[in-house]
A and B are shown apart, each in its own frame.
Chain A
């Protein structure tokens, strides 16, 4: 399915989270000028069609004790990226695994993977496990631990109301 303008506004309306009120979907619906049933139907369709990959609580790892978080990156030959990526995603401590473009000479890596652990030693051990399981030890690679988190919130892709096409004003 292709999301329509109202779907986009709905996703935008909940980008900062469902309100903590007894009827949160009604609150969202009121803001959009549509019915509560329609909000629920649309969310169900978006979820069933895989546009929403999950709907629920988005935890903050750091505050829950997974204090170490690293972006592990490799320069994987293009022909092997698919095989390696498919393998890496099965590790429970990996939360994201993406192929992205290299930007030479500044950035030679094309496979990105987020690894969470209670401390750095654990994360390093987990990355070793990935290297061993996927036979990546010989490849150029780097580990970028996170230091400060300046911002974490939901993405706002669309304008706020179905009847407005103007993009958010930017300071």
Chain B
């Protein structure tokens, strides 16, 4: 992505303080010297290309509902099947394979702690594998976005 390009600015400049305005895309269009339609079109294309996952809220952990980081040691031949099962759970929002004996890592979010525990229990029961429950104890980092120019 070209630094300073419209695409880069759309992705970099609106990670925080996205306009809370009835016509947010028109506001952005004004900043960038485009039309509202062009902004919507470019954002749709960027989304299709997978460069961003959503325009939305990042919520401080444990203020709305409960969540945890969970991990499993999955035998290689079962990884795809189990990863697919885990991804299918609506409470799972991130699910990654990582290079480690404990190789499947996912985040579970639900209305409260009991609901989270229920999801983990269900995954253990269905897969026959143990799930490590690693809930947040303290966050040192406030998610302020990812600076595409500095990082």
- Which residues of A does B touch, CB under 8 Å? 3, 7-8, 11, 14-18, 20-26, 36, 40, 43-44, 46-47, 50-61, 63-66, 71, 81-82, 85-86, 88-89, 92-101, 103, 106-107, 110, 112, 116, 142, 144-159, 167-168, 170-171
Contact = CB atoms under 8 A, between A and B. Distances in A.
**Chain B interface mostly helix, strand, loop or mixed?**
mixed
Interchain residue pairs A-B with the least CB separation, the first 8: A17-B54, A157-B65, A85-B140, A155-B109, A56-B18, A151-B95, A144-B98, A99-B138
B96 A148 contact: yes
A64 B148 contact: yes
Contact of A17 (B14, B56, B143): B56
Contacts of B78: none
A117 to B, nearest CB: 8
B139 A97 contact: yes
B20 A100 contact: no
Interface residues of B, number: 86
Contact of A156 (B1, B90, B105): B90
Given A59-B51, A61-B146, A151-B95, A157 B60 contact: no
B99 A116 contact: no
A151 B140 contact: no
B151 interface: yes
Contacts of B141: 88-89, 94-98
Given A88-B140, A101-B137, A145-B99, A17 B55 contact: yes
Contact of B132 (A89, A97, A103): A103
B125 interface: no
Contacts, number: 273
A91 B43 CA distance: 29
B18 A151 contact: no
B112 to A, nearest CB: 9
Interface of B: 1, 10-11, 14-18, 20-26, 36, 40, 43-44, 47, 49-60, 63-67, 69, 71, 73, 83-84, 86-100, 102, 105-107, 109-111, 115, 119, 122, 132-148, 150-151
A92 B147 contact: yes
A19 to B, nearest CB: 9
B54 to A, nearest CB: 3
Contact of A154 (B56, B65, B69): B56
Contact of B96 (A47, A82, A150): A150
B122 to A, nearest CB: 7
Given A17-B56, A18-B56, A54-B145, A150 B95 contact: yes
B75 to A, nearest CB: 15
Given A51-B64, A92-B151, A142 B51 contact: no
